Amino acid sequence: MEAEESPGKPPEYVLHLYITGVTPNSTRAVRNIKDICEQYLPGRYELLIVDIYQQPEKAQDEDLIGMPVLIKRSPGLVRRLVGDLSDRQRVLAALGLPPEATTSR
């Protein structure tokens, strides 16, 4: 389990990523969401990574079916994305980030 947030003010984005150990899909999902958060949401997010092998009750609490799964808690509506999060456009859309945010910095 891991959380990253900016000190001082509360994060704008609260994200929970549920993974299954160190499988290739889980590893890619962690890397992809961290890259996206650091590029598009620096200092504006809290990312909680939960390994359901270590905390199986969390998967039951969330009624999770596929893994890995990213749950966006806030802002706005709760959204779920299943997969390794490699489709950056889809992830950005689910996070409510504008398409122009996809231009490289």
CATH code, domain with 26: 3.40.30.10
The residue among 80, 72, 82, 8 whose CA lies nearest residue 37 is 72
Query: Where residue 9 falls among pLDDT bands split at 50, 70, 90?
Result: low
* Mean pLDDT (whole number) for 96-104: 60
The total number of structural domains that make up the chain: 1
pTM above 0.85, yes or no: no
Domain coverage including residue 97: 2-102
Summarised one tens digit per residue, pLDDT across range 23-71 is 999 999 999 999 999 999 999 999 999 999 999 888 888 888 789 999 9
CA 27 – CA 41 distance, rounded (Å) = 20
pLDDT for residue 6: 44
